[in-house]
Structure 1
């Protein structure tokens, strides 16, 4: 028989519910509630049943408790008590864990926390006749696992702060843009290896000319964040429509331009620029 003693009664009921739902375990799991603790007894007789208990206990920790521990770390060690802020950081954490954010995942040197947890659970439950405290198991057997969770939290907080700063930066530049009067109606921006500006007649705007157009207040107020090669000219010119031809639509600079100028930006491929340029040249030759 396996006996698991919980100090936290809610945790005990969650695990009990998961065990009880398993057909093979439904008549072999018992819950005993006492004043100071709550116990779960599982009567194991067969190898497959033991494996079921191992899997469910592992998933209970990985899915249910890991989320609780992330929130506890955020609140107690980093003072993020707001539920919405916690959720925003958790979204970043799980984007790393699930492999969606590959850049951040690469910064986790050793992401073997699942393996550590599985080994700890299997080592504990290999004996079918055992009684243990869940809290003690976490404290003594899962120390390294919890340390790895802390790394995810630290990395995600840094990313969250950077995203907050980025959003504030975008908001500030939108306000600046809203106060500007458009100097041109249409502008073509080709972003391949480097940005190249063209007017509405597909004539290249040279760098010296762009530099003269830049509002110096923009650079003095935001010297660190504003890109003087691309963002500053665009904000200073404040075109009604920007035809943005990009090789990679997911490039950070492309993302920033779209976030600042929003509906003013029409995103196209590099190939579409050359096609449009050829069409314009034909129109000019026909007029001649």
Structure 2
């Protein structure tokens, strides 16, 4: 029997230690079939996990490299699956100095979304996840060539710089999105208040959504509505660089309808969502009716009241 190899993993909390110990126990079971004996122990006093490995003389030298590979693989998986959320949270608090729980949780939700669906970064989520795990695995594999003791959180912070910087980049993107969403909600509340203090000027407005950001406006008799002048307060509020989304919203607020019927086949379209958020219980959603079907069929003949970038 060769001298056993002992690997010690230091952690920062009892919860992390117990979780990692249980995870390693389950993963290491498969190595017994390869002739490897092992013993693991979690010390609550020292917050460390000790793993002792031994095998028969004739195969132990061969299995050392495999052990190094498996430990690196198991730890990289654990970091990615079970620790990444807490690492991201720590980055939000320690690197970007957020302390309000509501803000931390809001940014964290965006970060989790971006880490799971990586379209924003131009690659598949699975490919990105595998890329992050490969970076962790390589660093651990190189580390275990010479070392048998690892302080896990310190290793992540100082040895996994490339991985850590990837997470910082995700957090930066998440903060940008969180701030934009917060500003959007504040703006929606302001417009909602503006609508609530207005007297109704139009009994009913039909909004026909043709495609993308192309909308047609009609009165209660389905006659086209043409707005000659927009509300000056609103145009100042929306600033001088209004996009076409702003323009349709401003027009509707200027018309101040008592009721609004939105005819659309895309009820979750972002402009439709904004209309519903602002006008709330004034809005009725129509997914299909004879009137809007006829308008959509003949929309090429109508141009004067189009809203399109």
TM-score (norm 1): 0.78
Q: Which of 172, 197, 209 is 2:217 aligned to?
A: 197
CA–CA distance in structure 1, aligned partners of residues 96 and 158 of structure 2: 23
CA–CA distance in structure 2, aligned partners of residues 183 and 106 of structure 1: 47
1:94-135 deviation digits (Å, cap 9, x = unpaired) = 111111x73x34399x9432331233344445x699333324
**Across the two proteins, how many residue pairs are aligned to each other?**
268
Alignment of 1:1-40 (within 5 A): 1-6=5-10, 8-10=12-14, 11-20=16-25, 24=29, 28-33=39-44, 37-40=46-49
Q: Give the secondary structure class of the aligned counterpart of 1:8.
A: coil
1:78-107 deviation digits (Å, cap 9, x = unpaired) = 1111222211111111111111x73x3439
CA–CA distance in structure 1, aligned partners of residues 263 and 241 of structure 2: 23
CA–CA distance in structure 2, aligned partners of residues 93 and 228 of structure 1: 28
Alignment of 1:1-288 (within 5 A): 1-6=5-10, 8-10=12-14, 11-20=16-25, 24=29, 28-33=39-44, 37-45=46-54, 53-99=71-117, 102=119, 104-106=120-122, 111=128, 112-124=131-143, 130-193=148-211, 194-206=214-226, 210-212=227-229, 214-223=230-239, 229-269=247-287, 273-275=291-293
Segments of 5+ residues of structure 1 without an aligned counterpart are 279-288
CA–CA distance in structure 1, aligned partners of residues 238 and 167 of structure 2: 36
The answer (yes or no) to whether the contact 1:89–1:160 under 8 Å persists in 2 is yes
Segments of 5+ residues of structure 2 without an aligned counterpart are 31-36, 56-62, 297-309
CA–CA distance in structure 2, aligned partners of residues 196 and 250 of structure 1: 18
TM-score (norm 2): 0.73
1:281 corresponds in structure 2 to none
Q: CA RMSD in A?
A: 3.4
CA–CA distance in structure 2, aligned partners of residues 221 and 159 of structure 1: 22
Q: CA deviation at 1:192?
A: 2.0
- Pick closer, same or farther for the CA change 1:139–1:162 going to 2, 3 Å: closer
- Pick closer, same or farther for the CA change 1:273–1:119 going to 2, 3 Å: farther
